Amino acid sequence: MFKKFQPSTDVAGQTPVKSSVQRGIRSTILSLWNIDAETLEEIWPKKESIVNVKCRDHLSIYALHGEPLFFQHFDGPYFPTLRLLHKYPFILPHVRIDRGAIRFLLAGAHMMCPGLTSAGGWLPPADAALPTGTPVAFEAEGKEFIVGIGITKLGTEEMKTVNKGVAVESITYVGDDLWAIQKL
Amino acid sequence: MADITTFTQIEKRATPPVQMFYCSVCTFPPEYCEFGNSLSKCKEWLQTQRPDLYEKFYSEEALKAKLGTISQEAQSKLEEDTAKKEAKAEAKADAARKKKLASQVVIKRIERNKRKFVTSIRGLEAFGVDLKKAAKLFAQRFATGGSVTKNAAGIDEIVVQGDVSQEIYDMIAEANEGGGEDGKGGKKGVDILKGVLIDNVDIVEEKRKKDSEQ
Model confidence pLDDT, tens digit, residues A95-109: 999 888 888 898 889
- pLDDT tens digits along A27-66: 999 998 988 888 888 889 988 889 999 998 889 999 998 8
d(CA B134, CA B90): 30
- Nearest Cα of chain A lies from the Cα of B15 at a distance, in angstroms, of 6
Q: What is the pLDDT of residue B181?
A: 45
Sign of the torsion angle spanned by Cα atoms A143, A149, A153, A154: positive
B151 pLDDT higher than 80: no
Q: Dihedral through CA A114, CA A119, CA A125, CA A129, nearest 10?
A: -20
User: Cβ distance A95 to A159 under 8 Å?
Assistant: no
pLDDT band at B132 (very low <50, low <70, confident <90, very high): confident
DSSP, res A98: -
**Nearest in space to A75 (alpha carbons), one of A130, A133, A36, A15:** A133
Q: What is the pLDDT of residue B49?
A: 86
- pLDDT tens digits along A74-86: 888 999 999 999 9
A87 and B CB contact within 8 Å: yes
B96 and B108 belong to one structural domain: no
Residue in B closest to A106 by C-alpha: B35
- Nearest Cα of chain B lies from the Cα of A107 at a distance, in angstroms, of 10
Interface of B with A (CB under 8 A): 9-10, 13-15, 17-18, 20, 26-29, 31-32, 35-36, 65-66, 68-70, 74, 78, 81
**Nearest in space to A136 (alpha carbons), one of A172, A166, A107:** A172
User: Cβ distance B134 to B179 under 8 Å?
Assistant: no
Domain boundary pick from B101, B132, B154: B101
Least confident range from A141-145, B9-13, B76-80: namely: B9-13
Instruction: For residue B8, tell me if it sits in a domain.
Output: no
Domain span holding position B53: 17-101
B97 pLDDT higher than 90: no
Checking DSSP bridges between strand B116-122 and strand A166-173, what pairing results, if any?
Answer: unpaired
Q: Which of A164-173, B1-10, B14-23 has the highest mean pLDDT?
A: A164-173
pLDDT band at A69 (very low <50, low <70, confident <90, very high): very high
Reported ipTM exceeds the 0.85 cut: no
B32 and B90 belong to one structural domain: yes
pLDDT band at B114 (very low <50, low <70, confident <90, very high): confident
User: Cβ distance B103 to B200 under 8 Å?
Assistant: yes
Instruction: For residue B47, tell me if it sits in a domain.
Output: yes
Find the CB nearest A42 among B14, B27, B32. Answer: B14
Q: What is the pLDDT of residue B178?
A: 59
| Per-residue CA distances from A52 to A61, A63, B64 (Å) | 6, 6, 46
3-state DSSP of chain B: CHHHHHHHHHHHHCCCCCCCCCCCCCCCCHHHHHHCCCHHHHHHHHHHHCHHHHHHHHCHHHHHHHHCCCCHHHHHHHHHHHHHHHHHHHHHHHHHHHHHHHCCEEEEEEEEECCEEEEEEECHHHHCCCHHHHHHHHHHHHCCCEEEEECCCCCEEEEEECCCHHHHHHHHHHHCCCCCCCCCCCCCCCHHHCCCCHHHEEEEEECCHHHHHC
**Nearest in space to B160 (alpha carbons), one of B124, B127, B128:** B124
Find the CB nearest A86 among B20, B68, B78. Answer: B20
| In CATH, A7-86 is 3.10.400.20 | yes
> How many domains is chain B partitioned into structurally?
2
Instruction: For residue B6, tell me if it sits in a domain.
Output: no
pLDDT band at B188 (very low <50, low <70, confident <90, very high): low
Average pLDDT over chain B, rounded to an integer: 77
pLDDT higher for A134 or B97?
A134
CATH architecture assigned to A89-177? Roll (3.10)
Q: What is the pLDDT of residue B44?
A: 86
A47 and B CB contact within 8 Å: no
B1 pLDDT higher than 70: no
pLDDT band at B67 (very low <50, low <70, confident <90, very high): low
The residues spanned by each domain of chain A are 7-86, 89-177
